[in-house]
Amino acid sequence: MIVGAPTAANPLPDKSGMSQDGPDAGNLPSTYATEAHALKPQAATPGAGVSTKRIALENVGNEHTGSGNGQSGDDETSEDTSLTWDGTAALPFSAPTPGDVPPALLR
């Protein structure tokens, strides 16, 4: 989730092609898959008295599956935030609801 617009001094991270030793038993590094690098910032910023909330799961048709670096192999950088977060004309920001989980996010 990116709030606001990335800048040259604070760009989106891109792990494509980088190598790192992971949590497996071996000590050989693994190379990250190429990422879509298409994650868009939210279209708006919440004002006073309202907050942003996830409204849909990202891995239910809202991002590329099986071709990325996410825990389950999804490309987390391809999430369509206009479908998974509020702040649009159809689903505007609303009052904060700390601790509440929207029904659409329950499994």
Summarize pLDDT for 72-82 with one digit per residue, the tens: 888 888 888 88
pLDDT at 49: 95
pLDDT at 57: 79
Q: What is the mean pLDDT of residues 29-57?
A: 84
- Give the alpha-carbon dihedral of 106, 35, 72, 100, to 10 degrees: -20
The two structure tokens encoding residue 27: 């000590």
Q: Report the alpha-carbon distance of residue 28 to residue 59 in Å, rounded.
A: 29
In the block, which residue shows the tokens 């099986």?
A: 66
Q: What is the pTM of this model?
A: 0.68
* Number of residues written out for the chain: 107
Is residue 2 over pLDDT 60? no
Going by pLDDT thresholds of 50, 70 and 90, the confidence category of residue 89 is: confident
| Domain boundary assignment for the chain | 30-95
For 26-35, the pLDDT digits (tens) are 889 988 888 8
pLDDT at 6: 67
Is residue 98 over pLDDT 60? yes
